[in-house]
Amino acid sequence: FYSLHSFQEDELRDKTVVIIDVLRASSTIVTAFMNGAKAIIPVGDMGEASKIAQNVDSDNYLLCGEKDGEKIEGYDLGNSPLEYLKEIVEGKNLIFNTTNGTKAIKKSLGSSKTYIASFLNVSAIVDELKKQENEIVLVCAGWKGRLAFEDMLLAGNIIHLLCNGSLPNGSRDGAKVAFGLYDKFGDDISTVIHQSNHATRLKDIIGTSDIDYCCQVDITDMLPRLKEGMITLTDG
């Protein structure tokens, strides 16, 4: 169980990886697929995003993402899941560039499988993880190398569901902390997520509607998965 900067990419090799960025990259990715997006290309920075954008047919691609929570000038969409409407994203490929989420996704390129998890699709993720034989690593994107409460809380929710509410002996410290966090706050995730550092940061930029949206649990069974550098809906 790792946070963004405390692991080497090699450690994810041959593992099943779950990327968690509740506010907001994971929730936005899941929403884009709910509304018919074809594929999402995660990129590490603005340079990489514009290089790809220059070499594709702009009718089929949208340039999307944020820097420090704000929409990037010249981009088609920011990182609010509420922007990713069916009439905008259906059938489109999205070039997606975010401060922490897409960087965490890119770090997992050498994994056996990488899934994108949010509260919106948590049960679908857990059902899929129950089928895995590889070691499972939950990667919390956090914020610029720091822990993000909401990401740890979702990690705890996933662990709770995976082990039916009883943490196995020998669990690692990170798993114990996430499990304990969900034990304490899992009954009312919305209240505690609204009090998190990133929610406070986002409230100043865009208000609270994205946070309300991202706190919804199990509104979809979408299973976005990274494959050959591209996120698409999983075929298992």
Q: Tell me which residues touch ligand MLT (CB under 6 A).
A: 21, 23-25, 66, 69, 79, 98-101, 141, 202
Query: Could you tell me which of 24, 1, 43 has the C-alpha nearest to residue 231?
Result: 43
Which is nearer to ligand MLT, 179 or 210 (by Cβ)? 210
Query: How far apart are the C-alpha atoms of 195 and 191, rounded to whole Å?
Result: 7
Query: How far apart are the C-alpha atoms of 165 and 148, rounded to whole Å?
Result: 22
Q: How many CB atoms lie within 10 A of CB 108?
A: 24
Provide, rounded to whole angstroms, the least separation between the CB of residue 189 and ligand MLT.
17
Which is nearer to ligand MLT, 62 or 202 (by Cβ)? 202
Q: How many CB atoms lie within 10 A of CB 133?
A: 7
Which is nearer to ligand MLT, 79 or 111 (by Cβ)? 79
Which is nearer to ligand MLT, 129 or 148 (by Cβ)? 148
Which is nearer to ligand MLT, 106 or 160 (by Cβ)? 106
**Sign of the C-alpha dihedral, residues 204, 205, 206, 208?**
negative
Provide, rounded to whole angstroms, the least separation between the CB of residue 68 and ligand MLT.
8
Which is nearer to ligand MLT, 16 or 79 (by Cβ)? 79
Provide, rounded to whole angstroms, the least separation between the CB of residue 25 and ligand MLT.
4
Provide, rounded to whole angstroms, the least separation between the CB of residue 1 and ligand MLT.
19
Provide, rounded to whole angstroms, the least separation between the CB of residue 170 and ligand MLT.
32
Provide, rounded to whole angstroms, the least separation between the CB of residue 135 and ligand MLT.
25
Which is nearer to ligand MLT, 155 or 202 (by Cβ)? 202
Provide, rounded to whole angstroms, the least separation between the CB of residue 165 and ligand MLT.
29
Please tell me the total number of residues recorded for the chain in this structure: 236
Which residue in the block uniquely carries the two structure tokens 């610029």? 144
- For residue 47, count CB atoms less than 10 angstroms from its CB and return exposed for 0-12, middle for 13-18, buried for 19 or more: exposed
CA-based R_g, the chain, Å: 16
- Those residues with Cβ within 8 angstroms of residue 25's Cβ, 6 or more apart along the chain or in another chain: 79, 96, 98, 100, 101, 102, 105, 141
Query: Could you tell me which of 20, 26, 34 has the C-alpha nearest to residue 84?
Result: 34
